[in-house]
Structure 1
Amino acid sequence: MARPTDYPFPQRVMHYLHLIGIITLVFTGFLIHHPPQGTSQSALRVVHVLVGIIVLVVVLVRIYYAFNGFYRDAHQFALRRDDWRNLPAVIRHYLTLKGELPPHSGKYNPLQKLSYLGVVVLVLAQSLTGMALYWPGTFSGLVASLEGLAGVRASHYALTWLLITFIMVHLYMVISETPDRLRLMLLGQTGGVGSEKEGAGTGSRQYPLS
């Protein structure tokens, strides 16, 4: 079952900051793209850039914390041979929501590991394209590689939709399979009822895409 030690306080704080920051970035980004009449574009851009910097800093701190924090957990994201072997079965499980996840050791299954590592890359790429839009002279090499500001803007927009897609899938899988895990991540406590399954014959825990 979900345990408070699965999500220590520092991880929960950073999760909150990511959640609030990314929602703010998406909201202000769409307002910048389609500004309502009378809206201050300069104010929106300042808020967007400041929040973007905060999100980037939090991601970098989280990476550092994963290797050096008191509750360091970088090893939980390492992809091992068994992960690659079980990945097709895990994908089939999430596509059909039938049967049980293949047993795995550690906190995350292989699809979780890939998705979380992918999100880190996504946020870093989003940050780079965002900074290139705001400071094109400083990031002239990136601007040139994407064939101008139009290419940078298109890349930034596409990355936003990828991030939104991940968040929607992330929330759906958590809420639909283990509401206790959502409460644990957000509140540091569960509803008192275990909602995860023990790994068959291995003693490992089964975790949803959360």
Structure 2
Amino acid sequence: MFVPHAFRFENRAEQIAFMKRYSFATLVTAVDGLPLATQLPFAIAEREGVLVLSAHFAAGNEHAAHIAAHTSLVMFTEPHAYISPTHYDKRESVPTWDYIAVHAYGKAKILDGPEAKMQAMEQLILCYEPAYLATWQTLPDRYKQGMLQGIVAFELEVTELQAKQKLSQNKSITERERIAAQLEKGNAPEAGLAPYIRATIRTT
């Protein structure tokens, strides 16, 4: 990832918090020189200092056959917004895009067996809708096992994190205030970016 000095994002705890908040990510694996990409919801956990990403494919997805043999990239990104040059003090300015992204690299391992797959499924439920776990546990075993046969569960141990916060840090506080105020009036991705821009103002 290309990260200019002004846009560095190096705090590991904040990186992980961002990944957990925007956990629907894109998994990319290069196979024979061509990228395979799948969008997946991830459960994110630290185990004895190791960051582990858990998810599952549909059983028919060819991507699942390659993740154990190749390093994969998981891209977490959102929110983002177009930034108009009308917010800048200098007339000779151009439009840009502000965003946050975290890239996680690592090799995945397939979770074999019904017990491991069940644990992975329940971890996702706990991540996204804990209240549903009680209902899931009351479903017939035959139904649950049938569902598990339709997925390929995996875990990816992260070996490298790269991250970037492009939040107009190269602009003045006044300009960033104008940008944040405008984004707060926008759609969900735009409004979601505003607090991050305001945070750069507080730390300037």
Output the TM-score relative to the length of structure 1. 0.22
Q: Give the structure with the larger strand fraction.
A: 2
Higher RCO, Cα 8 Å, sep 6+: 1
Q: Give the structure with the larger helix fraction.
A: 1
